[in-house]
Structure 1
Amino acid sequence: MKYIRANLLTPARNLCAAFSSSSPIPTLLTHFTHDPCPQAHEHGLPHLASFLGRTFTGTDGVARYFEVMTSELGFEDMSFEPEAEWLVDTSTMAVVIRGTAKFYAKRTGQKWDEGFVYRLGIAEEVNEGVSGRGELKVQEYEVWADTGAAYLALNGRLGEVLSEEREGGTGGAGRTRRSQDRKRSGCGEVVGSGMGAYGSCGQ
């Protein structure tokens, strides 16, 4: 029997509801399989944060991932896109979901708005001695998020970066004060811009 979209949405929905309501770790773990072995992996360089770039395996490993992550980061106002936009692959038993939240570093208090993506691999729970199909739960939890913002916030540097961006002015979103000064002086931000008929900036 092949599972359909509606079957796979249920365990994904249950886990996302537990996340968004800040459920405790033991509650989160009830939405993961025990057999087959579950795993959690948040993509990113391990050098940026202790919960990044490592695969946490088994029920204890998944619990450890959430313990480490929640000891460093918190969030507010988590929400997910409408279920009609969730991507479901019934051949690989996977659901891909986009969400948003305001995250903050607990040590520094610095906050940022973030979009993130979950890929949830779904599997049947194996119950020894019980015939028939097991309950569908999440076996593989993968997340892609703004690791740069997390790193800066954990190290108390996010405010500095955001201040530099704001100093660029309303019309200069994404530019630092230095780039604005270069613009005013005639030095462009792209190759060839700011060059006159008889020379270029700095000459």
Structure 2
Amino acid sequence: MSAPYAHHETAQTRSSIIRQRAQAFCGAFLDLANNPPEKMLKEHFSSHNPKITEHGPAWASKRLPFLGKTFSGKDGCLEYFSLLADTLEFIPNKDTFPGKEGFVVDDMASVASGGGPQHSGVGLGWDGRGAVSVVGKARFKAVKTGKDWDEQFIYRLSGFDEEGKIGHWEVWADPLSAWFAVGGEDVS
């Protein structure tokens, strides 16, 4: 009976660590002035080829160049942050992210590129497994036009390294509202 208990104990520890890491990462967005991209990458992302993907239709990348592709490595991730900042302003509030209970953790998930979580069920080491999903809400504004809107978005953080740092940050948001705002059209 000791083996299942040990597995459960290890899983709880891993689950707690990746939940705390996810909450700290999301919390950094509430104070962007003190958390520039370089600091975000250093403090929250794995040094083992981190990735950022903001999902969306390919046609939208004409106005939203950060959309629909995976940015890899430190330089790629910095490019994502730069393209995003040149296009949209993120205006969070105290309710942008939920409390601890709003972070859904699967400490054994293995997220394949292009697919959903898959359970391998072997080993308990820090082998890139683990996924945390959270729904946030905030106001966004197009940098060039000033058009703004409120929206909900989903973050999935996965591929955690041996320190519990994020390997892959995926974003699902509202590309149609962003498309209209960047084009100077009303978002309603």
Normalised by the length of structure 1, the TM-score is 0.70
Query: Which residues of structure 2 form unaligned runs of 5+?
Result: 1-9, 110-129
Structure 1 position 13 matched with structure 2 position 3: no
Alignment of 1:46 onto 2:58:
yes
1:87 equivalent to 2:104? Answer: yes
Q: Kindly, what percent of the aligned residue pairs are identical?
A: 35
Aligned-pair distance for 1:4?
A: 3.3
Aligned residues, how many? 150
Match of 1:137 among 140, 145, 165: 165
Equivalent residue for 1:194?
none
Match of 1:34 in 2: 47
- The Cα RMSD (Å) is 1.4
Moved over 3 A (4+): 1-4
Q: Which amino acid aligns with 2:39?
A: T
Partner of 1:198: none
Q: Which has the higher helix share?
A: 2
User: 122, 129, 149: which is aligned to 1:112?
Assistant: 149
Encode CA deviations 1:8-64: one digit per residue, 9 max, x unaligned: 1121112111122112111111111112x1100000023211110001011111111
Quote the Cα distance in structure 1 between the aligned partners of 2:88 and 2:30.
Answer: 14
Which runs of 5 or more residues in structure 1 are unaligned?
125-133, 163-203
Please tell me whether residue 96 in structure 1 is matched to residue 103 in structure 2. Answer: no
Deviations 1:91-145, CA, capped at 9 Å, x for gaps: 1100001101100000000000010000001422xxxxxxxxx421011100000
User: More relative contact order in 1 or in 2 (CA 8 Å, sep 6+)?
Assistant: 2
Residue equivalent to 1:170:
none
Which residue matches 1:146?
174
State which structure, 1 or 2, has the greater radius of gyration over its C-alpha atoms: 1
TM-score (norm 2): 0.75
